[in-house]
Each structure stands twice: as C-alpha cells, then as structure tokens.
Amino acid sequence: MKRKTIAIDMDGVIADVEAQFLLWYERDYGVKMTKAELIGKTDETAFPEADAIRKFVTTPGFFLTVPVMDGAVEAVKLLSEKFEIYIVSAAMEFPLSLSEKLEWLGKHFPFISWTNIIFCGDKSIIDTDYMIDDHLKNLDFFKGQAIMFHAFHNVEHTHHIRVDNWDAVIKLLKDV
C-alpha cells in the first residue's frame, strides 16, 4: 500500500527561525527579547527595528546556523517510519538560502533523502496528504489536511488544526 505523504515546512517548523531572530537581534541591536514578546506580531512589527527580519534573512549564514526546532529531529524520524516525508521550503525568494538550507538539512536531517527535498516559490502545486506549515498562504490553498504549526505570526487564526510543538504533531498523527 502506498504510504501517506506529509509535506513539512522548514522555517518556523523544523528550523527555529524565531530563536534565530532573537539571537541575531540581541547580537546586532543589543536588545534581548523573548518569544513571548513576539506573540501576535508580524515580521514587520516583531522588533523595534522594522526591517531587522528582512535584513537577517538576506544575510549569509542566517539559514545555515538557525537552531533546530525542539523535538523536530526525533519527531520527523519517528514519522518517517510510517509516512513518506517531504521537506518543502519556500526558498526561492532568497536565492542565497538554497545552498544553506540544503547544507543545514544534510547536517541535522541526514536521514531525509535528496529525492524528498523541494525548494519552491509558492506551494500551490504541492500534492501530499498532509502539510505541516506555519503560514496561512501555504495552508489555505492546500488540498490535503492542513496542520498549522504555532508561530508568533499565526496565533490569531483558528481555521486550521493547530499544533503547538512536535509532541502535538506526533499525538495528532499517531493513529491515522
């Protein structure tokens, strides 16, 4: 029987870009902030310096050194026993990120084959059974079962199944 497929996003889902934003903000602007302070904000309003995030994501090394999301490696490894896992990242907006993201995946998720990695622009032509993502622009037009991973910018939206962390993903998918 064909295994069910899951498209898993990188930034904000297996890569903890929020943590990286906070680290780099403190490093570059000398202001230490917390994840709690970002809740309900957008990329533009998250920090006092409005263009900080845009600057970070276009700086060499940002995607290469982003911390792994808590529990992501173990959870993706566990899910890959039962599901066909695809890593699907909207990397095309930042060309510099392509090689960094591929290197990062090879380092932290070496068990994901190159055949199952997709770097795209929009995700509208991705056809899997499940999609785990933090962005409405990807989840809203997805034809399979959308699963919204918690992020500071999506807390006000309630029209998708929400998971707060990787433990919640495992609980949600353990019986399907």
Please identify which of the residues 9, 16, 133, 134 carries the catalytic annotation.
9
Q: Judged by CB under 8 A, which of 4, 64, 67, 116 binds a second copy? A: 116
Do strands 117-119 and 84-89 pair parallel, antiparallel, or not at all (unpaired)?
A: parallel
**Beta-bridge partner residues of 86:** 7
Q: Judged by CB under 8 A, which of 1, 36, 115, 164 binds a second copy? A: 115
Nearer to a second copy, 20 or 128 (CB): 128
CA–CA distance, 132 with 134 (Å, rounded to integer): 7
Q: Judged by CB under 8 A, which of 36, 114, 164, 175 binds a second copy? A: 114
How distant is the alpha carbon of residue 99 from its chain centre?
Answer: 17
User: Given phi > 0 = left and psi -120 to 50 = alpha, else beta, which region is 120?
Assistant: beta
Instruction: Give the total of residues touching a second copy (CB under 8 A).
Output: 24
* Per CB under 8 A, 99 contacts a second copy: yes
Which residue is associated with the tokens 């990695």?
117
What residues are annotated to the active site? 9, 11
Which stretches of the chain bind a second copy, using CB under 8 A? 5, 7, 86, 92-93, 95, 98-99, 102, 113-122, 125-128, 143
